[in-house]
Structure 1
Amino acid sequence: MKVVHLVGARPNFVKLAPLIGKLHPLKEVLVHSGQHYDYTMDKVFFDTLGIKEPDYHLGVGSGSHAEQTGKIMVEFERICLKEKPHLVIVYGDCNTTIAGALVAAKLHIPLCHIEAGIRSYDREMPEEINRVLTDHCSDYLFAPTMTAVKNLEQEGITKNVFNVGDIMFETYLEFMEQASASTVIERLGLSKKEFYLATLHRPSNVDFKEKLERVFRAMSQLDKPVVLPLHPRTRKRVELHKVDTGGVRLIEPQPYIDMIALEKSARLIITDSGGVQKEAYYAKTPCIVLRTTTEWPELLGNGAVLLGEDYEALGEEVVELLSQSFTFDKLFFGDGNTSNKIAKILKSKLLS
């Protein structure tokens, strides 16, 4: 029997790494859509995480949501018709995810969704549409938290729903020791707990010149230096709008191990990323989220706070958050054994 994994973006690779190779005796085929194609967002993750070379690379590149999703669907359908898999596995909530889900559903191939059930309840986010539709197409839904399970139940999805914990937490634990040995702090001339780490890529924050200028101005006025690994999408907007990035230190997107080392060493994290919110919690680093909603409500009051677009209040929020004490000891995301649980369930379902 044959299983196809479909990935395409940096967060997918982090979720894929612990699971691929664990479904033996099922044959595993890896398909990369090419949604992320910049070396710093793509190949370096395969190298760092020890993921095998994809069996197929669709090379779709960038484009509008419709263009990118449509291209992936056309190319992925051809592969499914050729390979005739017994299961398609998709990860997270990017355009690759929904494209794979729709292809599998239309071809009547059973579909598995890793990281099912998370919801921000913000339909302005493309990812929210992707994750909701993917869940409603899926035959096996692996939820990272009890909140996710309850979200699915509220939408009438209860069959083959499994709370297995967060697979990204497993990846973090696996590479934590290597991150401790990373020299990225020294290479960047930083001191532990003497800088703030930021990430920024959501359209709501970066697509408008006025907003970008406000957020960079706010970060430049903080009491510690801000280090920002610059997402290619954000870099394009900064260059297009000729945005003054002020005193924010811009660096290239970091390999996974160096990134989690930075997250652990930062005094505080400022982000609009769903994955970085979780990694901040794993790293026991307080986190300010530049969004009005989050798909990880467990984190609110447990080291994380939503700031929305009130960028001018960033300095006050930093002071307020750092005045509090957090234990970061609640096991929201499972025990770090997610991939083995998923593999056991899928093999029992497919091989029985």
Structure 2
Amino acid sequence: MTNLKVMTILGTRPEIIRLSEVIKKLDKYVDHILVHTNQNYDYELNQIFFEELNLRNPDYVLNVKSSSIGGQIGNILSQTEEVVLKEKPDAILILGDTNSALSCIVAKRLKIPIFHMEAGNRCFDDRVPEEINRRIVDHTADINLPYTEHARRNLLREGLSPDSIYVSGSPMAEVLETNMEKIENSSILDKLALEKEKYFLVSIHREENVDNTDNLKNIFNALESIADKYDYPIIISTHPRTRKRIDDLKIKIHDQFILHKPFGMFDFVKLQKKSFCVLSDSGTIHEDAGIMGIPSLVVRESSERPEAYDTGNVILTGTDPKTILMSVDIVRRQSEENIKFSNPYDYQELNVSDKVVRLIVGMSKIVPKKKYYLPLE
């Protein structure tokens, strides 16, 4: 172990999953401080993933819960600042575009090198709240680690220096390979009395869908049409906020709908692998579809992962019910005809965790010399 102190700050389910192997490697090779902002404070959106992925408990668990966006972001900044000032890390690692990633603002003001995984993603749609966070975090970070060449080009186009950008590849293939035996051993299909390839899996949670009444109603109208046509169960992984909106809008629940609390990673991936088709508005489905060959639809009007569409792995449907139903038909017919699509190269990397550790160890002492200047005597 080196005397380098690295702090990882995370706060949501996708961050925990994507960083799981990186966290283990940082624990192995450096003095590693793990900070959880607790941005998602439900067990199903949080602690279950630490347990399943065999991750140690965080060194710090913050309490950033707030009823407003400004309150939550303010809590993240003030509470991470306290921890950073106490621990004085040599580098900080963040991932993605969540409010927890905005902790980079504190690190920047304190002149601590910031390494940002999942940099450069752009959907060019400001209706998506994460798009604002992406630009802030990318332009604040000292070293950006995009997954793909698409993302790297976005950063270059925005004027970021080439010597601050290193393509790491997506960490998902490594995470899935590490945990595939446990995924395959999941008994979730038996628990829900489901038959292989005779059910749909749905996950809708993004703000632009859940908080937009027309979009949410359109999606459920589409699901009703799918249920009527295929007569298969539709398993809907229902986040607490989504469930509240469904209840508030009095959306009709079809007899084939099964609204289920969010699944753990192993159960959810098993459900994806064995489903007739997946409909989701998540970012992860782009990668899962390519890595595991899952027939999938992205129920959004914009996407930050164009490489998945370059290879044809997923269909971007928007929220129009007729388009969604037609896309389900096409995806399934092509699957039955054994039409295959290539997986983007950057989704196939199996050593992302080791690459990230090398970049952090190698550059943590270089960045301050290049970026900051000693005060005048």
* Alignment correspondent of 1:345: 359
Written as runs of structure 1 = structure 2, the 5 A alignment for 1:12-51 is 12-23=15-26, 24-51=28-55
Residues 227-279 of structure 1: CA distance to partner in whole angstroms, max 9, x if unpaired?
Answer: 11111220121122222222321111111111111111112111111112322
Going by fraction, where is helix more abundant, 1 or 2? 2
8 Å CA contact 1:15–1:167 kept in 2: the answer is yes
* AA in 2 matched with 1:203: E
8 Å CA contact 1:60–1:71 kept in 2: the answer is yes
1:332–1:22 CA distance, 2 compared to 1 (3 A): closer
- Residue 235 (structure 1) aligned to one of 243, 254, 269: 243
* AA in 1 matched with 2:24: G
CA distance in 2, matches of 1:118, 1:348: 25
8 Å CA contact 2:235–2:259 kept in 1: the answer is yes
CA deviation after TM superposition for structure 1 residue 327, in Å: 3.2
State the 4+ residue runs in structure 1 displaced beyond 3 angstroms. Answer: 208-211, 327-330
8 Å CA contact 1:284–1:328 kept in 2: the answer is no
Q: State the secondary structure of the residue aligned to 2:364.
A: helix
Q: State the secondary structure of the residue aligned to 2:32.
A: strand
**Deviation larger for 320-329 or 124-133:** 320-329
* Alignment correspondent of 1:185: 189
* Alignment correspondent of 1:283: 292
CA deviation after TM superposition for structure 1 residue 210, in Å: 4.1
* Alignment correspondent of 1:166: 170
Q: State the secondary structure of the residue aligned to 1:101.
A: helix
Q: State the secondary structure of the residue aligned to 1:269.
A: strand
Written as runs of structure 1 = structure 2, the 5 A alignment for 1:75-90 is 75-90=79-94
CA deviation after TM superposition for structure 1 residue 109, in Å: 1.0
8 Å CA contact 1:288–1:307 kept in 2: the answer is yes
Whether 2:219 is the aligned partner of 1:215: answer yes
1:25–1:182 CA distance, 2 compared to 1 (3 A): closer
- In structure 2, list runs of 5 or more residues that go unmatched: 367-377
8 Å CA contact 2:291–2:343 kept in 1: the answer is no
- Residue 128 (structure 1) aligned to one of 128, 131, 135: 131
Give aligned-pair identity as a percent. Answer: 32
Residues 203-226 of structure 1: CA distance to partner in whole angstroms, max 9, x if unpaired?
Answer: 222224443233212112211321
**Deviation larger for 283-292 or 62-71:** 62-71
8 Å CA contact 2:120–2:155 kept in 1: the answer is yes
CA deviation after TM superposition for structure 1 residue 351, in Å: 6.2
Q: State the secondary structure of the residue aligned to 1:159.
A: helix
CA distance in 1, matches of 2:11, 2:66: 11
CA deviation after TM superposition for structure 1 residue 322, in Å: 2.0
Whether 2:324 is the aligned partner of 1:314: answer yes
Residues 143-170 of structure 1: CA distance to partner in whole angstroms, max 9, x if unpaired?
Answer: 1111111111111222231111101221
Residues 86-131 of structure 1: CA distance to partner in whole angstroms, max 9, x if unpaired?
Answer: 1111111101012x11111111111010111111111211111111
CA distance in 1, matches of 2:273, 2:175: 15
CA deviation after TM superposition for structure 1 residue 307, in Å: 1.1
Max Rg structure: 2
In angstroms, what is the RMSD of aligned CA positions?
1.6
Whether 2:258 is the aligned partner of 1:249: answer yes
* AA in 2 matched with 1:322: R
* AA in 2 matched with 1:150: R
Q: TM-score scaled to structure 1, two decimals?
A: 0.95
CA distance in 2, matches of 1:234, 1:9: 16
- In structure 1, list runs of 5 or more residues that go unmatched: none
Written as runs of structure 1 = structure 2, the 5 A alignment for 1:99-114 is 100-114=103-117
Whether 2:71 is the aligned partner of 1:67: answer yes
